[in-house]
Amino acid sequence: MPTVLINNEFNRTYAINAFGIRIKRCCASCSNKIFDDKGCRICNCNEKVILNPKECCNYWLMSESLSRAGLVRKDAPELRDLTERIRALREHDKELRELKRQLNRESNRRMREKMKARWRKCLI
């Protein structure tokens, strides 16, 4: 599976898996890491004992689970239902934000009218 490397403005390197998901190249996403009895990551290839979270060596290889990230199983209709519900909630949220903007505009208009009426009374 070929990976495409991307460098962004924060000087981080990413790889793209087969499903188009961007995976950050670091020790945490490598398949060569192993854990010692204290839970520290150890690189299986370059024999470095403790790895920093953002380090990446030349032996980096995307882990099996991350290479499958983005794969939707056909036998999981609940995932499709969940994504549809999330999409509907986002649309509902957009509608609520627009209604709130309209309410604020109306409230501001009424406030301006009240202030103008008070100002006119002061002039009389």
Does the structure show a pLDDT above 50 at 15?
A: yes
Place of tokens 């020790």: 27
State the average pLDDT for the chain: 77
Query: Could you tell me the pLDDT band of residue 124, with boundaries at 50, 70 and 90?
Result: low
67 C-beta neighbours (distance < 10 Å), count: 20
CB contact at 8 A, 26 and 13: no
pTM higher than the cut 0.85: no
Look at residue 90 and tell me whether its pLDDT is greater than 50: yes
Alpha helices in the chain (DSSP H): 64-67, 77-123
Mean pLDDT of 29-50: 77
Give me the pLDDT at residue 77, please: 62
